[in-house]
Amino acid sequence: MAPDRILTADEIAKHNSRQSCWVVIDGHAYDVTDFLDQHPGGSAIILRYAGKDATEEYSPVHSPGTIEKELPKDKHLGQVDLMTFLSIRKASKSPLTNATPSGPLPIEMCVNLHDISLAAQKVLPERAWTYYASASEDLHSHRRNLHDWDRILFRPRVLKNVKHVNMHRKILGFESSLPFFIAPAAMAGLGHPDGERCLVRGAKKFNIPYFVSDGSSVSHEDLAQELEREGYGGVLFYQLYAKKKKDLTIQRIHRARQLGYKALIITVDTAVMGIREEDDRYRMRQAFERGEKYIPLCGLAPLTKDDDWVLRGVHNAALDWNDLKWVKEAWGNTGPISIKGILTTEDAKIACEMGFQSIYLSNHGGRQIDSGPSGLRALLEIRRFYPDVFDKCEVLLDGGVRRSRDILKALCLGATGVGLGRPFLYALSAYGTEGVLKVIQILSDELEISMRLLGVTSLDELRPHMVNKLDLDNSIMREIPGFKNSTSKL
């Protein structure tokens, strides 16, 4: 079929099955029938858009040029008739077009990360806000992330001469100017056309690490180039989701190595995607408004008898600790590896004993198991039952950090570095690169002030006795089979 052919929406809509599956992306129609089983994201997700416009779902997870690279030329069917296209294409708002009449706050008026989050809520299209802000089920883990920090109190010392402070910290081998980093978060392109590029620029300007998500909207090649462009410092670490196919996972690791990513973060808390009901509701409502049947991506029943059993999401539910051996081998000696999503003493010990250089305590921003502990509670548990971890492994942590005082508390308790996820997505959505710079500047200023008020001049001086954690201690396990409670040592 000639690629200059113009197709109507009705014609495309007929090809809505596994036997004949066409999709529309950016105004062009493609025959993806033969590609379904090769699609790295699985066939189910494409079948959901069979005979329809998939642009809104497609764009944030694929870098430009993916179709040209992956689909044979003859699968490009042609352009879609614009008039009929409008009837099948959902009115997708581009970022920053649905600002309220008053718009977001001028950036100068944002004094803290809460202001930035409010600004983003004002301007973000509903789909993006829902994806970024949502967490799983009843949001217990998410709320705990936000509130646990306030249950740790400082024990500030006075009259210590704190005129000069040093905020440097080595994180996974990188000499960072600040003890925090940009946590991996997929699909920054939903919030701003420059997407993850804004985050690279921020990391560069302030010389901090950016853990780039496997699900970046901008290609990893482009991000590596962005880092190389003129600027100051920064470093990129690669966050990996193991795919269902081992060879694809290995390809990703090799690509990260070639691109010069300096550390590997393996996220292990996503055997399946958590139940993010706001996200589901949004999709259901969209389907309902279009008069379509909503096909959930979850549940244990196959979508059709030909399909794989569909677990929620595209991740590899069969992954286990043994698989991490070949992941490690594929990465070689490129740099340190951190295991992200550890929440218990038992798993911390396994990771350390397997020789991983770092564990990363995180409940994925409350988006995975609900009623799991916050990264902070996991830190307290591990301190109690496996304090050796701090001699063997670098401990990173994230979840609900919105103030530098939270970072300082985590560092007092033994963390090496602390990550922030949503604040950076909100910042780039509302203000692009400027927003990302603003977040880092606010955190840097807050940190400097909090250090002085606590009575320390260097992060190396931070010790557990500088905080009072008794309020949270009561909620930490008293016994764990096979581990000794070392409370007295704390």
Give which of ligand FMN, ligand HEM, none residue 184 binds (C-beta under 5 to 8 Å, depending on kind): ligand FMN
Q: Closest distance between ligand HEM and the C-beta of residue 12, in Å?
A: 13
Task: Tell me which stretch binds ligand HEM (CB under 6 A): 10-18, 33-41, 82-90, 197-205.
Answer: 33-41
Is residue 49 close enough to count as binding ligand HEM by CB under 6 A?
Answer: yes
Cα torsion 40, 308, 275, 53 to 10°: value is 60
- Known catalytic residue at 269: yes
Is residue 233 close enough to count as binding ligand HEM by CB under 6 A?
Answer: no
- Known catalytic residue at 58: no
Residue with tokens 């089979």: 481
Q: Closest distance between ligand FMN and the C-beta of residue 368, in Å?
A: 9
By the 8 A CB rule, do 177 and 233 touch? yes
Which CB atom, from 29 or from 389, has the smaller least distance to ligand HEM?
29
Is residue 374 close enough to count as binding ligand FMN by CB under 6 A?
Answer: no
CA distances 174 to 177, 227, 384, Å, are 9, 15, 28
Task: Tell me which stretch binds ligand HEM (CB under 6 A): 9-17, 66-74, 224-232, 361-369.
Answer: 66-74
Residue 463: name the closest of 409, 423, 420 by CA. 409
8-state DSSP, 165:
-
Q: Closest distance between ligand FMN and the C-beta of residue 102, in Å?
A: 26
Describe the crossing of helices 422-454 and 404-412 by its angle, rounded to 10 degrees.
70
Task: Tell me which stretch binds ligand HEM (CB under 6 A): 46-54, 194-202, 352-360, 394-402.
Answer: 46-54
Is residue 382 close enough to count as binding ligand HEM by CB under 6 A?
Answer: no
By the 8 A CB rule, do 44 and 310 touch? yes
Is residue 365 close enough to count as binding ligand FMN by CB under 6 A?
Answer: yes
8-state DSSP, 73:
G
Phi, psi of 211 (to 5 degrees): -90, 100
The single residue among 13, 71, 107, 162 that binds ligand HEM, judged by CB under 6 A, is 71
By the 8 A CB rule, do 186 and 214 touch? yes
User: Which residues does 254 contact at the CB level (< 8 Å), separation at least 6?
Assistant: 330
Is residue 90 close enough to count as binding ligand HEM by CB under 6 A?
Answer: no
8-state DSSP, 105:
P
Q: Closest distance between ligand FMN and the C-beta of residue 283, in Å?
A: 15
Among positions 389-408, residues that touch ligand HEM (CB under 6 A) are: none
Q: How far apart are the first and last CA of the chain?
A: 72
The single residue among 400, 417, 432, 435 that binds ligand FMN, judged by CB under 6 A, is 400
Is residue 40 close enough to count as binding ligand HEM by CB under 6 A?
Answer: yes
From the list 81, 148, 269, 398, the catalytic residue is 269
Neighbours of 478 (CB within 10 A): 10
33 CB burial (10 A radius; 0-12, 13-18, 19+): middle
Q: DSSP string covering 177-217, please?
A: SSSEEE---S-GGGT-TTTHHHHHHHHHHHT-EEEE-TT-S
Is residue 314 close enough to count as binding ligand HEM by CB under 6 A?
Answer: yes
Q: Would strands 417-420 and 180-182 be described as parallel, antiparallel, or unpaired?
A: parallel
Rounded Cα distance between 88 and 448, Å, is 53
Give which of ligand HEM, ligand FMN, none residue 71 binds (C-beta under 5 to 8 Å, depending on kind): ligand HEM
Residue 182: name the closest of 237, 241, 263, 226 by CA. 237
Mark out the alpha helices in 71-184 (DSSP H runs): 82-88, 113-123, 126-133, 140-148
Which CB atom, from 58 or from 131, has the smaller least distance to ligand HEM?
58
Q: Give Rg (Cα) of the chain.
A: 23
Q: Closest distance between ligand FMN and the C-beta of residue 310, in Å?
A: 20
From the list 142, 192, 315, 364, the catalytic residue is 364
Residue with tokens 């502990």: 373
8-state DSSP, 388:
T
The single residue among 41, 173, 215, 296 that binds ligand FMN, judged by CB under 6 A, is 215
From the list 131, 238, 241, 431, the catalytic residue is 241
Is residue 78 close enough to count as binding ligand HEM by CB under 6 A?
Answer: no
The single residue among 21, 36, 47, 54 that binds ligand HEM, judged by CB under 6 A, is 54
The single residue among 11, 70, 278, 346 that binds ligand HEM, judged by CB under 6 A, is 70
Which CB atom, from 290 or from 452, has the smaller least distance to ligand HEM?
290
By the 8 A CB rule, do 367 and 183 touch? no
Is residue 132 close enough to count as binding ligand FMN by CB under 6 A?
Answer: yes
Is residue 398 close enough to count as binding ligand FMN by CB under 6 A?
Answer: yes
Which CB atom, from 232 or from 294, has the smaller least distance to ligand HEM?
294
Q: Closest distance between ligand FMN and the C-beta of residue 80, in Å?
A: 30
Which CB atom, from 51 or from 184, has the smaller least distance to ligand FMN?
184
Residues acting as catalytic residues: 241, 269, 364
The residues binding ligand HEM (CB under 6 A) are: 23, 25, 30, 32, 39-41, 45-46, 49, 54, 57-58, 61-62, 66-67, 70-71, 214-215, 241, 243, 314
